[in-house]
Structure 1
Amino acid sequence: MSWLMLYRKELRLTRTKFMINIGFLLALVAILWVLIERYNPAFIALIVPVVLVHLFYLFFAMLDSLRQEWKQKTTVFWLNIPTSGWQLLTAKFVAATTQLVVSLSLTLLFLYILLQRSINHFIDSTIANFILEQYQSYWWILFFGILIASLQAGGVVTFIYMMAKSIRRWGWLVGIAIVIAGSWLWVKFQETVVYRSVTEWGALLSEKNIMETLSFHFDSFKNDPNIHMEVTNNAVLYVGTAVVDVLIVVIILYASAWLLDHKVEA
């Protein structure tokens, strides 16, 4: 069975749940539209948790997908498909990521529409205009930030689940312990010169960009010389950081696939 066939199978199996999620999103947007129009534009804040929940989208999607294999007793068939653990896991992972991209894209689109709609309902629209302009300029940072964070969460839960099925009794605890230890080491590594030399390329956003935006909209920032003296042109966001984060996810999935091939039993 080819990887593409596995990918399509995963999309088909999760289609109903995905469509229910999209239906819930559409219903929520419709309710918020009415609340904004009839009552208070501040109701737009209720969509923020819907955006943030996508941080954990892949965590729950992969946990549910893997759990279903054992719950429905399809693991004997799944593990005996003549293909590698890498293909089996990445088919699930990419299918879930595809649905995440669609769901997150729609959510951010609806957020933009609601922002535009609500802006005229505020008595003082200064802050609302500022938020809208920043959203128009930097929505893609929000999109890719949430996407990468969700990829990391999905990779972590996949590894923990494979550990749980490799070491029957204490697998969950061993997997969680490895993740905690690995996270601690990674945080320490991020403080090193080596990490900065690998990741600090492809500057996307700097302190100066942020301050120029604040100064344009708010007089308190524009007229305070002390603030501007402290501002540098140092970047605060790099392409390199995102690339390294994605590579870490690939490594975690590779380790999970190795466990699936060599340790996991139905």
Structure 2
Amino acid sequence: MTAWRALFKKEIRLGSLGFFVFLGFELVLMAFGVWLYFRALQDGGVGYRSVMFIIGVVLMTLHFFYLFGYLIVNAIQERKTFHLWLNNPLPAWSMLGAKMVVGLIYMTLSFLVASIYTWIGSLLIPYVSLPAGVHVYRTATVLIAYLYWVALYIGIVFMFLWTIERIIRSRIGRLVWIILPVGVILMILLLVKLSQWGILAFFYNWGELPSSVANFLLPYSFFHGHIYIGNFVMDLLVMALLFAGSSWLMDHKLEVS
């Protein structure tokens, strides 16, 4: 536990640069939104009064890819010291887990700033007309949970691809940039075919939530689709397999290139 705590603190220090860079980007856009809002007040118009809310929503949406970007920056930063990280006595799952936990912490802090800004922006809009049956905070909670789910999924997929890239690079060098993209394209084409054949629907589209439950979470006036338990179960299974695969490959196949 002491070794993992030390690794955790090291990940916090390493990830702080990317966090503050993105936070600075957020603050610049937020300041621009505030300036536009007060300019609209001075001009007596309403054209820019929703700009703070719009900028806030855009910043919140960018957090779908926050963990992905965090891991990319993290991998670049550790490129020259990768051999030290690889020789860490801790198992790979704990090292990868530390990266994910720290990434989620920084994501939460950044998202909290964007959320507060968006909330303030929503209060400054003169006239707001919501669709019938929409409960703002309930809907926001569901959407935020979905954002974290997608961000985590994207982050784990990147982590798996990064592990594969390191393994291939250690064996064939720069040719990895030919083989890996081709492999990703072939995998995407395979998934498209499986979708066309109905195989993905068979595994994913089961356990549809009753309309009463679905409408409670996301009102029909806001969301017209179906919510399947199978989607979440299969996504969770895929994430678990990719994370376990990344950990096993790092422990048994990955070498310093």
Name the TM tier (shorter chain).
0.7 to 0.9
CA displacement at 1:257 relative to structure 2: 1.4
Stretches of 4+ moved more than 3 A in 1?
Answer: 181-190, 194-197, 199-204, 234-244
Partners of 1:178 and 1:42 in 2: CA distance: 44
Q: In the superposition, relative to structure 1, how do residues 178 and 144 fare at CA in structure 2: closer, same or farther (>3 Å)?
A: farther
Task: Give CA deviations for 1:84-113 in whole Å, capped at 9, x if unaligned.
Answer: 111111111211111112212321222111
Q: Which secondary structure state, in structure 1, belongs to the residue aligned with residue 226 of structure 2?
A: strand
Structure 2 equivalent of residue 218 of structure 1: none
Distance between the aligned counterparts of 2:120 and 2:70, measured in 1?
27
Contact conserved, 1:148 with 1:242, CA < 8 A, in 2?
no
Q: Distance in 2 between matches of 1:4 and 1:66?
A: 20
- One of 52, 65, 71 as aligned partner of 1:56: 65
Equivalent position of 1:230 in the other structure: none
- Corresponding position of 2:49: 41
Tell me what 2:86 maps to: 79
1:248 to 2:238 alignment: yes
Q: Which whole-Å CA distance do the structure 2 matches of 1:76 and 1:175 have between them? A: 26
1:92 to 90, 95, 99: 99
Percent sequence identity is 25
Residue range with higher mean Cα deviation, 169-178 or 155-164: 169-178
Q: CA deviation at 1:239?
A: 6.2
Distance, in Å, in 2 between the alignment partners of 1:159 and 1:175 is: 13
Where 1:10 maps in the other structure, the secondary structure is helix
Deviations 1:10-65 (A, max 9, x none): 01111133123223323422331231233222423233321221111111111221
C-alpha deviation, 1:195, in angstroms: 3.5
Q: How does 1:1-266 map to 2 (within 5 A)?
A: 2-39=3-40, 40-43=48-51, 44-70=53-79, 73-118=80-125, 120=126, 125=127, 128-130=128-130, 134-168=135-169, 169-170=175-176, 172-173=180-181, 176-177=184-185, 179-180=187-188, 183-184=191-192, 187=195, 188-192=198-202, 194-197=203-206, 200=208, 204-206=213-215, 210-211=219-220, 236-237=226-227, 241-242=231-232, 244-266=234-256
* Cα distance in structure 1, aligned partners of 2:68 and 2:58: 16
For residues 235 and 21 of structure 1, do their structure 2 counterparts lie closer, same or farther at Cα, with a shift above 3 Å needed? closer
Is the CA contact (8 Å cut-off) linking 1:58 and 1:97 kept in structure 2? yes
Where 2:239 maps in the other structure, the secondary structure is helix
Code of the aligned partner of 1:159: F
Asked if 1 retains the 8 angstrom alpha-carbon contact of 2:68 and 2:158, the reply is yes
CA deviation vs aligned residue, 1:143-163 (integer Å, no higher than 9, x gap): 111111111111111111111
Q: Residue 173 of structure 1: CA displacement?
A: 2.8
- Aligned partners of 1:239 and 1:103: how far apart in 2? 30
Preserved CA contact (<8 Å) 1:33 1:114: no
Alignment-mate amino acid for residue 81 of structure 2: T
Q: Is the alpha carbon distance of 1:154 and 1:195 closer, same or farther for their aligned partners in structure 2, counting shifts above 3 Å?
A: same
In structure 2, how many angstroms separate the alpha carbons of the residues matched to 1:99 and 1:189?
37
Aligned length: 234
Separation in 1 of the partners of 2:209 and 2:113? 30
2: distance between equivalents of 1:65 and 1:74? 11
Query: SS of the counterpart of 1:130?
Result: coil
Q: 1:25 to 1:253 in 2, by over 3 A?
A: same
Give the 3 Å change call, closer, same or farther, for CA 209–92 of structure 1 in structure 2: closer
Per-residue deviation, residues 181-218 of structure 1 (Å, max 9, x unmatched): 674477554411x5344x5469852399624x67xxxx
Would the alpha carbon gap of residues 92 and 182 (structure 1) be closer, same or farther in structure 2, given more than 3 Å must change? farther
SS of aligned partner of 1:236: coil
TM-score (norm 1): 0.74
Give the gaps of 5 or more residues in structure 2. 41-47, 170-174
CA contact (8 A) 2:205 2:230 kept: no
